Amino acid sequence: MISDLVIRGGSIVTPGGVIDGDIAIEDEYIVAVTSGVSAGKREIDASGLTILPGLIDIHLHFNEPGRADWEGAATGSRALAAGGGTLFFDMPLNSSPCTTNARHFDQKRTALESASITDFALWGGLIPGNVTELAELADRGVVGFKAFLCDSGLPEFPRADDLTLYEGMREAARLGLPVAVHAESEEITKRLSKRFAEAGRHDIAAFLESRPVIAEVEAITRAGLLARETGCRLHIVHISSGKGVAAALDARSLGTDISLETCPHYLLFTEDDLLRIGALAKCAPPLRDPSERDALWASVLRGEVDAIGSDHSPCPPEMKRRENFFEIWGGIAGVQWTLPALIDKGLDIPQLAALTSANAARRFGIERRGAIEPGAYADLALVDLKASQVVREESLFQRHRTTPYLGMKLRGVVGKTIRRGEVIYSDGTITAVTSGKLVKPARNRNATSGTHA
Ligand SMILES: [Zn+2]
């Protein structure tokens, strides 16, 4: 039998280790991973390249529907594909409406199905007053529920007070889905911000001081307690510090089912970079001092962090231009650079595949993804680990061509991205013909339902 597509040669990062061989693809699926597969109808020469499972970005904001002028799934998914990505989990904010009920889910699904070239899954939102909506969101196929423990910056997505979080987690546990939290203490960050405002301080240093590491540690600890009490699976998004990781591991040792996510920018940059770069590097939690950054990196190397998401969260350029640094929109646009950012740090390649794909698929019940093996969807990133590139405006596929990565030289160049057997990106060009699809999680280990709607 002649396969539709054979990827010939290359170092293939499989669940069992890195092997030199070929991949045979039939329709959307991998049918063989071995050396010397027979000729296919089409072949791609991958000699000299490393083949990773397609990157799964579990944390980003494409802001569609409603705020496609901030990014949009058409541009965002192209940037993701250019970075080796085949699937993303879109956050319930900053689209308008936010994904806080089934009707809003349907609106986002429709928008993304027509705009996105990669596959996508949707986070639902947990906000005060919508706990009764979670069951319908679960039926629609959300991967979990995202809550803010501090002000989200978006009035229509208020933070979850402790009772909302407790009752939401109880419901999420019943539904078999995780709750993801943005872990920063509202009590600490709000009071400190007010104190600086009263003192007339609007500068970057004041912003950094208004969101200290303890605000993250306190919120992780509190969320860990509530998750443990309710039996809810907990996911901590964008952990920014070594102390944050330690707090999450403490919760695990006490019995919380917890997973840890960080972002490339917390591993690459420090608060000195924020002082140097300014608005483009503003995010919350903020970039940290070198000791916290190094401790976080050490945690990643020890395997304590489960997943790395980009938290790509762009905005129109004018929202990055304010006198008052506190009023500047927080969010780093980096969806295209996750793999090079990590490759450049010298991460072991199987661990890179785990952090950017396999662990996410397993944690969130995304079947047939995250592994290069027969039976899995043919979601692949072909990467030249020896080549380097300088990040330039013209290499960005995102809507607004600004990112703190501009001008950086990064090792690891994505040559091709293959989504369900289709080459959607090839050597600088988007080649996708078909659109992305909604991917739903399996809600428990025994579920047999497929991943596609
Ligand atoms: Zn985010």
Gap from CA of 182 to ligand 1 centroid (Å): 8
Q: Which two tokens stand for residue 201?
A: 């301080």
Q: Is 73 left (phi over 0), alpha (psi -120 to 50) or beta?
A: alpha
Question: pLDDT of 118-143, one tens digit each?
Answer: 999 999 999 999 999 999 999 999 99
Of 124, 227, 126, 78, the C-alpha closest to 440 is: 124
How far, in Å, are 157, 242, 250, 288, 299 from residue 292 at the CA level?
30, 5, 17, 6, 10
Least Cα distance to 76 among 391, 439, 331, 397 occurs for: 397
86: CA distance to ligand 1 center in Å? 19
How far is ligand 1, taken at its centre, from the CA of residue 375, in Å?
A: 32
Please report which confidence band the pLDDT of residue 443 belongs to, taking 50, 70 and 90 as the band edges. Answer: confident
CA distances to 51, 74, 124, 292, 385 from 143, in Å: 27, 21, 7, 30, 32
User: Tell me, what DSSP letter sits at residue 320?
Assistant: G
Residues whose CB falls within 8 Å of the CB of residue 179, separated by 6 or more in sequence, listed in order: 126, 144, 145, 146, 147, 165, 168, 169, 172, 227, 232, 233, 234, 235
| Residue 7 Cα to ligand 1 middle (Å) | 35
CA of 180 to the centre of ligand 1 (A): 11
Phi, psi torsion values for 58, nearest 5 degrees: -85, 0
27 C-alpha vs ligand 1 centroid, how far in Å? 34
Does residue 302 register a pLDDT over 60?
yes
pLDDT attached to residue 444: 63
350 to each of 3, 309, 344, 411, how far by Cα in Å? 27, 17, 15, 17
**Ligand 1 center from residue 347 Cα (angstroms):** 24
* 250 Cα to the center of ligand 1, angstroms: 24
Dist. CA 36 → ligand 1 center (Å): 43
- Name the residue with tokens 């978006």: 154
Residue 451 reports pLDDT greater than 50: no
As a whole number, mean pLDDT of residues 330-359 equals: 95
Q: Which residues contact 443 (CB under 8 A, 6 or more apart)?
A: 138, 175, 176, 177, 365
pLDDT tens readout for residues 8-22: 999 999 999 999 999
Distance 156 CA to ligand 1 centre (A): 15
CA of 141 relative to ligand 1 center, distance in Å? 20
**Percentage of the residues of the chain whose pLDDT score is greater than 90:** 96
CA distance 68 to 72: 4
Tell me the CA–centroid distance for residue 389 and ligand 1, in Å: 27
Residue 351 CA to ligand 1 centre (angstroms): 23
Ligand 1 center to 1 CA (angstroms) = 46
> What's the CA-to-centroid distance between 294 and ligand 1, angstroms?
22
Between the CA of 440 and the centroid of ligand 1 the distance, in Å, is 20
Distance CA 430, CA 324 (A): 39
pTM of the model: 0.96
What pLDDT is attached to residue 1?
73
C-alpha distances in Å from residue 217, one per residue of 188, 212, 250, 259, 277: 11, 9, 11, 15, 26
Give the Å distance between the CA of 148 and the centre of ligand 1.
Answer: 10
Query: What's the DSSP call for residue 317?
Result: G
- For the segment 100-117, the average pLDDT, to the nearest whole number, is 98
Q: Residues lining ligand 1 (ion), CB within 5 A?
A: 311
Question: 10 Å Cβ neighbour count for 323?
Answer: 7
pLDDT digits (tens, 9 = 90+) for 370-379: 999 999 999 9
Cα separation of 234 and 259, whole Å? 6
Mean pLDDT of the chain: 96
Closest CA to 60 of 345, 215, 233, 263: 263
26 CA → ligand 1 middle, Å = 36
Q: How far away, in angstroms, is 366 Cα from ligand 1 center?
A: 20
CA distance 282 to 320: 9
Task: Calculate how far, in angstroms, residue 61's C-alpha sits from the geometric centre of ligand 1.
Answer: 6
Q: DSSP per residue over 322-385, as a string? A: -SSGGGSPP-B--TT-HHHHHHTTT--HHHHHIIIIIHHHHHTT-TT-SS-STTSB--EEEEEE
Which parts of 141-212 fold into alpha helices (H)?
162-175, 186-198, 204-210
Segment holding 261, helix H or strand E: strand 258-262
Q: Does the pLDDT of residue 452 top 80, yes or no?
A: no
Angle, CA of 9, 15 and 19, to the nearest 5°: 25
Q: How far is the CA of 448 from the centre of ligand 1 (A)?
A: 31
**Whole-angstrom distance, CA of residue 342 vs CA of residue 272:** 20
Ligand 1 centroid, distance to 183 Cα (angstroms)? 11
Q: From ligand 1's centre to the CA of 59, what distance in Å?
A: 6
Going from the Cα of 76 to the center of ligand 1, the distance in angstroms, rounded, reads 14
CA of 307 to the centre of ligand 1 (A): 14
Q: What are 285's two structure tokens? A: 């939690």
Strand partners, 85: 55
Query: Which tens digit of pLDDT belongs to each residue from 396-420?
Result: 999 999 999 999 999 999 999 999 9
Q: How far is the CA of 173 from the centre of ligand 1 (A)?
A: 23
CA distance 442 to 446: 8
**Residue whose C-alpha is closest to residue 368's, from 441, 295, 287:** 441
Q: What pLDDT, on the 0 to 100 scale, is given for residue 367? A: 98
